[in-house]
Amino acid sequence: MQSKINYPIIIETIGLLLMIEGMFMFLSLPFSIYYQQPDLSRILLFTPGYDFWPLVVSGAATFISGGTLFLIYRNAPKAMSKREGYIIVSLSWIIISFFGALPFFLGGMSGYSDAFFETMSGFTTTGATILQDIESVSEGLLFWRSLTHWIGGMGIIVLSLAILPILGIGGMSLFVAEVPGPTPDKLHPRITATAKRLWGIYVLLTLIETVFLMFGGMNLFDGLSHAFATMATGGFSTRNASIAAFSPYIQYVIIVFMVLAGTNFTLHYLALHGKLKEVFRNEEYKYYLIVLGLSSIIIGLVLFFNTDLPFEKAIRDSLFQVVSIVTTTGFITSDYLMWPGFLWMLIFLLMFTGGSAGSTGGGIKIMRQLLIFKNSFLELKRIIHPNAIIPVRFNGRAVPSNVIYNVMAFFVIYLIIFGISTLLMSLMGLDFETSIGSVAACLGNIGPGIGNVGPVDNYAAIPLAGKWFLSFLMVLGRLELFTVLIILSPAFWRQ
């Protein structure tokens, strides 16, 4: 018999998250003011194309709405179980995207459905866009667009874990729901300390990348925007040509930080404390680097021998696109659909790889694939020796059977959802390549796909129903299926 759901604590927590979101919206105002040089008449007249008031109104509406919910339910019972945690995490991504779309909608960037799609793509770090001329959008709105990546990358839920205990609310249930990988790592026995360490590493790497990008010629606006998108493995750029608009130096810097963003943040913590041997002994990390290295070498050599690209350019384009796709960042320096068919098909297969568990990357995750491979090979030994107990080992330790079952279930459900979703998108009138490409890109939180949603195209032409469905796939993929599917099951709601 399950206990009753504590709805007041759900509402109070979501109210807190909205207050945090509202404060983040105001961070875009300095760029709006600096680049648009407002005078009093333009502010008072709510001048079209000027994003000062849309940001102010949206930030105020979000903060006040959240504050109202928080104050009304501030005396709610503080007990929070996993059930409340799953509900909060699933609903929060929808609600913060609903409010997060307001600056785009009020700023006249697009209709509300498009604004919601763009915002959900930002918070889930997918990077799929409906914008056809990014450079025509004001700097204030573009900065908020990039900021949605950065908030969603580490997770606004993880940020709130540092605050919830102050309010007397336990946060472990939220952490389990928000970080649902095979083995979510805690860097400290106290969940609040874990959240602070994760965000500390995240902020540090973001600042370091910003400095390197500015050293390469980017201004503060571009540097921060692209650092936000890189460390969140998001992919929103401030340029129509994405990273192809910048120098080779900028591209190499972003490659390095995409690799770091797709790495388990626990390993960053170990590296910062001088435990490099433990980092390079990690099986997932070694497999992650092997996938990136081998794929980049194969594609780079094929490009060099089959196109007129110089060797350095061929290797750079190959390395950039492989790292961008595997880490689910989605930045672009080359139209991979123009490469030989074997290569862009390989790129498509890499869309099902994903970054490391415990990283900001999306997708199936390297660790799950490694465990599936190991279990599949060991199954042959089990057939030969039916009475032997042969456990799967990861980093020298036996992996519990329930983790293996969870990984296998995830993989099967992922493929089923992928197949059904592709069929649904094709029923909306999309061709096969666009259907399969859009689903793979949104479910894996990658951004660019194949077909008419490829690297030089966008999602503007997707039917309205398709955009809402793909938005659902984005949050489903961001929360790694189970968190959302659990609350959709009737058993979850039985008392």
Dig out the tokens for 327 from the structure.
Answer: 């880490």
Model pLDDT for residues 54-96, shown as the tens digit of each residue: 888 999 999 999 999 988 887 777 677 778 878 888 888 899 9
C-alpha distances in angstroms, 28 versus 54, 221, 319?
A: 11, 10, 33
* Mean pLDDT confidence for 230-236: 92
- The dihedral sign for the CA sequence 67, 485, 285, 223: negative
Question: No. of H helices and E strands in the chain?
Answer: 24, 2
Given a cut of 50, whether residue 451 has pLDDT beyond it is yes
Note if the pTM is more than 0.85. Answer: yes
pLDDT at 6: 81
Task: List, for residues 305-359, the tens digit of each pLDDT value.
Answer: 998 899 999 999 999 999 999 999 999 999 999 998 889 889 999 999 888 887 8
Least confident interval from 243-257, 292-306, 322-336, 378-392: 378-392
Look at residue 413 in the predicted model and tell me its pLDDT.
Answer: 92
Quickly list DSSP for 449-463.
-SGGGSTT--STTS-
**Over 50: is that where the pLDDT of 178 sits?**
no
Biggest alpha carbon distance in the chain? 83
Residue 479, pLDDT above cutoff 90: no
For the cut 50, the answer to whether the pLDDT of residue 411 exceeds it is yes
Question: Which of 157-166, 290-299, 462-471, 483-492 is predicted least confidently?
Answer: 157-166
Q: In 10 A of CB 304, how many CB atoms? A: 17
Q: What is the CA radius of gyration of the chain?
A: 22
Q: Please return the burial class of 273, using the count of CB atoms within 10 Å of its CB with bins 0-12, 13-18 and 19+.
A: exposed
